[in-house]
A and B are shown apart, each in its own frame.
Chain A
């Protein structure tokens, strides 16, 4: 049973560029959440996708956007990158019902220079 997978594992970008991160949920899961974990901090919720729509959003600017595909996989897009966007980006999957346990992928480490 495959767990949550993310790609790429590492990424280096420069300020002002755009980036796309990808996530495949755990088998049988239909909900994907994205979190940003800055160095030395706990993860912070960006948004959650269910049935191909954004169900809830955290306190992140519109530069952060996402998408969920019919196969439940998801993308996180960040435009106009800032140095402060450097972080580990974690994807978590769960079943559709709220309050279900979220299972995390290994993350994508983004460095913005």
Chain B
């Protein structure tokens, strides 16, 4: 069965520092992986996705993620944090039927000046 584990429920960085949010997955089929961001009192916005092909995926707002099959990981990074990046981040894998997203519990990113 598919599942996602996000390591660290809360990550704090300084403005301009590297952002690293960790996600490990379990999947019985080749995974389709996603990162979504949720700002307070809003819905989820797609940051980036991996389906097939290039393992380094670039998304919006300067974020990128690398699919590592050997490590079953899909960590999200951004070279330089901005205050506006403060939000909740969710990693997700699509289920075996290809119909539903299975989400991790989320990581809250705080950015200090």
B contact residues, total (Cβ < 8 Å): 24
Chain A residue numbers with a CB within 8 Å of B98 are 98-99
Chain B residue numbers with a CB within 8 Å of A101 are 34, 46, 49
Q: Nearest residue in B to A44 (C-beta to C-beta)?
A: B103
Chain A residue numbers with a CB within 8 Å of B32 are 99
A-B pairs with beta carbons under 8 A, tally? 56
Secondary structure type dominating chain A contacts: loop
Among B83-111, those with CB < 8 Å from A are 90, 92, 94-95, 97-106
A contact residues, total (Cβ < 8 Å): 24
Beyond A98-B97, A101-B49, A104-B36, is A90–B103 a contact (Cβ under 8 Å)? no
- Could you tell me if B43 and A106 are in contact, using CB atoms closer than 8 angstroms? yes
Asked if A107 is at the interface of the complex by the 8 Å CB criterion, the answer is: yes
Known: A42-B92, A48-B99. 12 other contacts (CB 8 A): A42-B90, A42-B103, A42-B106, A43-B101, A44-B103, A45-B100, A58-B100, A90-B44, A98-B98, A99-B32, A101-B46, A103-B46
Binding site for A on B (CB under 8 A): 32, 34, 36, 42-46, 49, 51, 90, 92, 94-95, 97-106
